[in-house]
Amino acid sequence: MSAIVNHEERVTSSTSSSKIQIQSLSSGALGTETLDNPVPNPQSDDDLKGRIFRLRLPKRSATNIIQKWVNEGNFVTLSELRHISRELRKSHRYKHALEITEWMVSHEEFELSDTDYAVRIDLMTKVFGIDAAERYFEGLPHVAKTAETYTALLHSYASAKFTDKAEELFQCIKDSGLPLSAIAYNEMMTLYTSVGQLEKVPSVVGDLKRQKVAPDLFTYNLWVSFCAATLDIDGVQSILAEMTQNTNSDECWVRYQNLVNVYVTTGQLTSSGAGSLVEAEKGITQREWITYDFLIILHAGLGNKDMIDQIWKSLGMTGQKMIGRNYIAVLSSYLMLGHMKEVGEVLDQWMCSTISFVDGSLCRRLVDAFSEAGFTEKAGSFDVLLKQKISNRGNEM
């Protein structure tokens, strides 16, 4: 779970009978895909993008289409190929996207960037597996082994949960003297979060600070998630205070900070009973649920409603019971972004769940939290909707 910057956040979601895996809570090194984007409709005129997107079967060749286009006397630019490749990745059409990058590599008139090579590593991993990506990376000329291409390979390891390989490569990057951005550190924190080695997150944060690497919003979200999952609420507040002093703070950061404060205040992270962090024998633990809550809050901070929709839908598909805190995370996110239709839908889901709605007591605390944060209009709109839903529910009983 992904604000997003010159790169796009990468989140891959999959569900099984008891687990949901949301890979890479970090900011991505590449301009890559988000979940389940629809395939764009080809342009009305017969342009190159339209022809390639009409290739429905992976076995058909995108390179043949490009060659035919050129043979017809048309021109093709590097920026156009990059754009088409990016759109294909958004549609999960990785083989065709990879073929476009192969065309770029095979034509020496195109001067490839570090990002182009990094994208190829990511696509190699998706199409042929990590072994192929490793071989490709090893075969790159020395000048192409940059922080960006190293980080792309690190992302492949982190996504596959290859902890030993990721740690070895991360150390190699640091030893090489290459300039590191927050992205590589985010990948390591994401990895440790996904494999349940939360105790290693503080050391990554400490190293980032020692190296004077500027954290981004993803860094802070991973750090906040760690503190919340370990019930270190003082730690959460300390991080929020640091964010306030950060010169990179913008509207997204402020929105994120407000949502975290609302979540901590309303979600009762320090409470016991149903909301405590009891480790489940099967399925998603409460520690993991908190991580997903903060992934939703992250995307709300970034104004990324589509990702909130997708993450919430994926969590619902696990079939596991959610507690009030989980509903508060998504309700406050939709409310902050002004999507009242979705707020109403989540309220309906909560009221119909097997979890006791407790006559909306948590929701009333959410109203108070929004009011105290200065969002009186949003609080008022939610209060009206909440009373309407509770009244309708009473009439149905």
For residues 132 and 226, state if they share a domain: no
Asked whether residue 258 falls in the same domain as residue 380, the answer is: yes
What is the average pLDDT across 332-344? 97
Establish if 171 belongs to a structural domain: no
pLDDT tens across 42-52, in order? 444 588 999 99
Indicate whether 227 and 334 sit together in one domain.
yes
pLDDT for the residue 391: 83
Asked if residue 366 and residue 238 are part of one domain, the reply reads yes
Least confident range from 248-262, 357-371, 374-388: namely 357-371
- Is residue 15 in a domain? no
CA distance 81 to 181: 27
**Are both 249 and 344 inside the same structural domain?**
yes
Residue 366 resides in a domain = yes
Contacts of 356 by beta carbon, 8 Å cutoff, 6+ apart: none
Lowest mean pLDDT among 109-113, 124-128, 239-243, 258-262: 109-113
* Share above pLDDT 90 across residues of the chain, in percent, rounded to a whole number: 67
Identity of the amino acid at 144: A
Number of domains in the chain: 2
Q: Region 109-120: what's the mean pLDDT?
A: 93
Q: Which two tokens stand for residue 298?
A: 């992250």
Does 358 fall in a domain? Answer: yes
Instruction: Give me the half-sphere count of Cα atoms (radius 13 Å) on the Cβ side of residue 344.
Output: 11
The pLDDT assigned to 276 comes to: 39
Note the pLDDT of residue 7: 34
105 and 231 together in one domain: no
pLDDT band at residue 162 under the 50/70/90 scheme: very high
Which of these three, 100, 132, 148, is where a domain ends?
148
Q: Would you say residue 11 lies in a domain?
A: no
Structural domain of residue 397, as residue ranges? 220-397
